[in-house]
């Protein structure tokens, strides 16, 4: 028989059977094995007459759409900026400086290039320096809340912090057109405040994943949730270009009004349907609760605010995750903030076409993330490879593959179709990172997953300030292929170096400082019981 009843069932298990979630304490693996056979969980408790949607899937679904909203509001300015600036003279400079670079392609796309002037909405005479200040203002305070977001998620709850981050950004996005009319300084302030709000999102949602994802589903749930960043980028780039040219929607202001309104609506859904932890959910099934807490890591206390800072900063696996994150983030900054300028300045695409060509290939990143996560979880569950080995393999495939694609773009000349294909392939393999370093934050020590991601992301987000200035320095003499190739060389080099460092020091095992804290907690529980 699968079910093996025992006389000494723990109080926590009785509480679950009686649906007394207030007195529930997370069961140990031994207690679970005493209660029922874990591998038969869904067969044993399945009720044919009941339609039950796993609550962890709802968390993943709304978490995914939360990041979709966050990234639509984050990158829409990359496209809208082209429509907001009175760039007639600038376009003439670009054509004069790069006319000998891709002459045939320029002539073939002459009509679409001239179409840039058809973007609707008020125009502003902002020079390159002012545009750079506006574009980088998002990251002025972003790294601060990214660094502290994990702590706030533990202190006040990940549900509250993630919802507040996306909700506040939505309101600020709705106010952006008004701030633009007031002047450059108010515009910069609003964008900086948006960065403050979005800095909370990544650490908070990573904390939610660590609390809701069973061990053998971590790669898939993490990849599904964080692929929202790719889908949000697709939607923002694609829709923003069309909205900037839409007379019915009023031009570029609609890129802020539409995404801000959608984000506000999402906040209402998140507030109603999401609960902080599985044991707080009033309608979660007993079998799903058991499944989530089957893993010993998921039984660690998430509300404990003890943070071993010294041991974290001296942990080599933690530094490995930082190296991996920085390399990934640097490449992301180049692809999301600078690529539209490359497509319009070197390949001479229109605003609308640049948005579509920059955004649509991000679907491949989401596809790569989902497919690789499935394979990674299968390899882990089969126990053919260790979890650490699986993480290193997928991270290396993602980052090295991305670097190779960038180098291939530098030798592709003016073959626009080939460049777009290589860019799409780059994003596909880049999605493998979600089964690499990204999920490492959860595995090193689940209760601190949000804080660890906040630390690595806050440092890595500084590349959002570095990249625009680096690109401006390289392209100061003109938007030529030679100048842009320098940007791609540096980015590919960072991909390669960060991957080497990650592969040397990375680990997917629960770290000693996490085990030590777990041991102290268990000892305290034992003493209390005695």
Question: CA 217, CA 235: separation in Å to the nearest integer?
Answer: 27
Q: Which residue has the higher pLDDT, 472 or 483?
A: 483
pLDDT in tens, 229-240: 888 988 888 888
Distances (CA, A) of 276 to 203, 207, 357: 14, 10, 38
> H helices of 445-480, where?
449-460, 463-474
Structural domain total, the chain? 2
- Measured in whole angstroms, how far is the alpha carbon of residue 370 from the centre of its chain? 14
- Residue 50's pLDDT is what? 62
Distances (CA, A) of 318 to 150, 153, 163, 456, 501: 15, 20, 27, 9, 11
Residue 287: pLDDT band (50, 70, 90) is confident
Identify the domain containing residue 227 by its residue range: 53-93+126-296
* pLDDT at residue 453 greater than cutoff 90: no
* pLDDT at residue 29 greater than cutoff 50: no
Asked if the structure places residue 11 within a domain, the reply is: no
208 lies in the same domain as 349: no
Asked if the structure places residue 41 within a domain, the reply is: no
Question: CA 340, CA 329: separation in Å to the nearest integer?
Answer: 17
Alpha carbon distance, N-terminus to C-terminus of the chain: 33
411 lies in the same domain as 451: yes
* pLDDT at residue 462 greater than cutoff 90: no
* pLDDT at residue 529 greater than cutoff 80: no
Question: CA 508, CA 169: separation in Å to the nearest integer?
Answer: 33
**pLDDT above 90 as % of the chain:** 27
Q: Which residue has the higher pLDDT, 65 or 117?
A: 65
- Residue 77's pLDDT is what? 86
Domain boundary among 274, 296, 318: 296
With DSSP H G I counted as helix, E B as strand and the rest as coil, what are the percentages for the chain, rounded to 5?
75, 0, 20
**pLDDT above 70 as % of the chain:** 77
> H helices of 298-415, where?
309-313, 316-333, 339-345, 351-359, 362-382, 387-410
Average pLDDT on 101-111 reads: 49
Average pLDDT on 335-339 reads: 78
> H helices of 11-87, where?
11-17, 29-35, 41-45, 55-84
Question: CA 336, CA 333: separation in Å to the nearest integer?
Answer: 5
What angle in degrees, to the nearest 10, is found between the helix axes of 316-333 and 481-505?
160
* pLDDT at residue 38 greater than cutoff 60: no
Average pLDDT on 287-309 reads: 67
137 lies in the same domain as 275: yes
pLDDT in tens, 6-17: 333 334 433 443
* pLDDT at residue 312 greater than cutoff 90: no
- Residue 61's pLDDT is what? 94
352 lies in the same domain as 491: yes
pLDDT in tens, 422-435: 988 998 999 898 88
pLDDT in tens, 395-422: 999 999 999 999 999 998 888 889 889 9
Domain boundary among 277, 296, 315: 296
Asked if the structure places residue 247 within a domain, the reply is: yes
Tokens 């040219």 label which residue? Answer: 245
Mean pLDDT of the chain: 77
215 lies in the same domain as 320: no
Question: CA 458, CA 146: separation in Å to the nearest integer?
Answer: 5
Q: Which residue has the higher pLDDT, 28 or 306?
A: 306
Asked if the structure places residue 118 within a domain, the reply is: no
* pLDDT at residue 115 greater than cutoff 80: no
272 lies in the same domain as 181: yes
DSSP character string of 387-414: HHHHHHHHHHHHHHHHHHHHHHHHTSTT
Asked if the structure places residue 220 within a domain, the reply is: yes
481 lies in the same domain as 337: yes
Asked if the structure places residue 99 within a domain, the reply is: no
* pLDDT at residue 526 greater than cutoff 70: no
> 43-52, 162-171, 194-203 — which is least confidently predicted?
43-52
- Residue 460's pLDDT is what? 87
250 lies in the same domain as 281: yes
287 lies in the same domain as 312: no
- Residue 295's pLDDT is what? 57
Q: Which residue has the higher pLDDT, 483 or 127?
A: 483
Asked if the structure places residue 151 within a domain, the reply is: yes
- Residue 106's pLDDT is what? 43
342 lies in the same domain as 390: yes
On the 0-12 / 13-18 / 19+ scale of CB atoms within 10 A, 459 is middle
CATH number assigned to the domain comprising residue 421: 1.20.1250.20
Question: CA 24, CA 18: separation in Å to the nearest integer?
Answer: 10
Rounded to two decimals, the pTM is: 0.68
Residue 124's beta-bridge partner residues?
85
279 lies in the same domain as 210: yes
Asked if the structure places residue 3 within a domain, the reply is: no
- Residue 100's pLDDT is what? 41
Domain boundary among 271, 296, 321: 296
Q: How many CB atoms lie within 10 A of CB 74?
A: 26
Give me the phi and psi of 85, to 5 degrees please: -95, 135
Residue 85's region, left for phi above 0, alpha for psi from -120 to 50, else beta, is beta
pLDDT in tens, 126-144: 876 787 788 878 887 787 8
372 lies in the same domain as 499: yes
- Residue 46's pLDDT is what? 43
Residue 267: pLDDT band (50, 70, 90) is very high
Residue 4: pLDDT band (50, 70, 90) is very low
* pLDDT at residue 44 greater than cutoff 50: no
Question: CA 519, CA 150: separation in Å to the nearest integer?
Answer: 23
């Amino acid at each position: 028989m699968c079910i093996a009843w025992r006389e000494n069932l723990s109080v926590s298990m009785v509480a679950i059977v009686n649906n007394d979630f207030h007195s529930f304490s997370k069961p140990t693996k031994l207690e679970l094995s005493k209660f029922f056979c874990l591998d038969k969980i869904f067969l044993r408790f399945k009720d044919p007459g009941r339609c039950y949607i796993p609550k962890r899937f709802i968390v993943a679904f709304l978490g995914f759409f939360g990041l979709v909203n966050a990234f639509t509001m984050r990158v829409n300015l990359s496209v809208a900026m082209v429509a907001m600036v009175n760039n007639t003279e600038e376009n003439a400079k670009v054509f004069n400086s790069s006319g000998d670079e891709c002459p045939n392609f320029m002539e073939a796309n002459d009509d679409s290039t001239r179409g840039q002037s058809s973007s609707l909405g008020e125009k502003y005479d902002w020079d390159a320096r002012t545009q750079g200040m506006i574009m980088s203002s998002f990251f002025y305070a972003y790294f601060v809340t990214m660094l502290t977001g994990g702590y706030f998620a533990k202190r006040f709850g990940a549900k509250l912090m993630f919802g507040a981050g996306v909700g506040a950004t939505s309101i600020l996005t709705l106010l952006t057109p008004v701030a633009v009319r007031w002047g450059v300084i108010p515009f910069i302030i609003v964008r900086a405040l948006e960065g403050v709000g979005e800095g909370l999102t990544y650490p908070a949602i990573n904390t939610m994943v660590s609390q809701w994802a069973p061990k053998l589903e971590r790669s898939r749930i993490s990849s599904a949730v964080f692929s929202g960043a790719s889908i949000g980028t697709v939607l923002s780039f694609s829709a923003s270009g069309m909205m900037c040219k839409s007379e019915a929607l009023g031009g570029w202001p609609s890129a802020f009004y539409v995404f801000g309104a959608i984000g506000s609506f999402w906040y209402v859904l998140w507030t109603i349907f999401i609960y902080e932890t599985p044991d707080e959910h009033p309608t979660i099934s007993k079998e799903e609760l058991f499944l989530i807490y089957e893993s010993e890591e998921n039984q660690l206390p998430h509300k404990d605010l003890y943070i071993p800072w010294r041991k974290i900063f001296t942990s080599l696996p933690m530094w490995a995750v930082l190296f991996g994150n920085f390399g990934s983030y640097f490449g992301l900054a180049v692809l999301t903030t600078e690529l539209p300028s490359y497509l319009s300045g070197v390949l001479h695409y229109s605003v609308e076409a640049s948005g579509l060509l920059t955004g649509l290939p991000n679907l491949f990143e989401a596809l790569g993330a989902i497919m690789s996560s499935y394979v990674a979880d299968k390899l882990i569950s089969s126990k053919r490879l260790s979890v650490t080995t699986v993480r290193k393999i997928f991270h290396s495939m993602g980052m090295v593959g991305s670097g190779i694609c960038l180098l291939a773009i530098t030798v592709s000349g003016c073959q626009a179709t080939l460049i777009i294909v290589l860019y799409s392939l780059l994003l596909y393999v880049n999605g493998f990172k979600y089964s690499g370093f990204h999920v490492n934050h959860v595995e090193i020590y689940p209760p601190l997953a949000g804080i660890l991601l906040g630390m690595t992301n806050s440092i890595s987000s500084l590349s959002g300030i570095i990249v625009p200035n680096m690109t401006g320095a390289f392209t100061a003499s003109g938007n030529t292929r030679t100048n842009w190739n320098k940007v791609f060389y540096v980015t590919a080099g960072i991909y390669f170096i960060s991957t080497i460092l990650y592969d040397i020091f990375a680990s997917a095992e629960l770290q000693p400082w996490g085990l030590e804290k777990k041991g102290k907690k268990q000892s305290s529980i034992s003493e209390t019981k005695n």
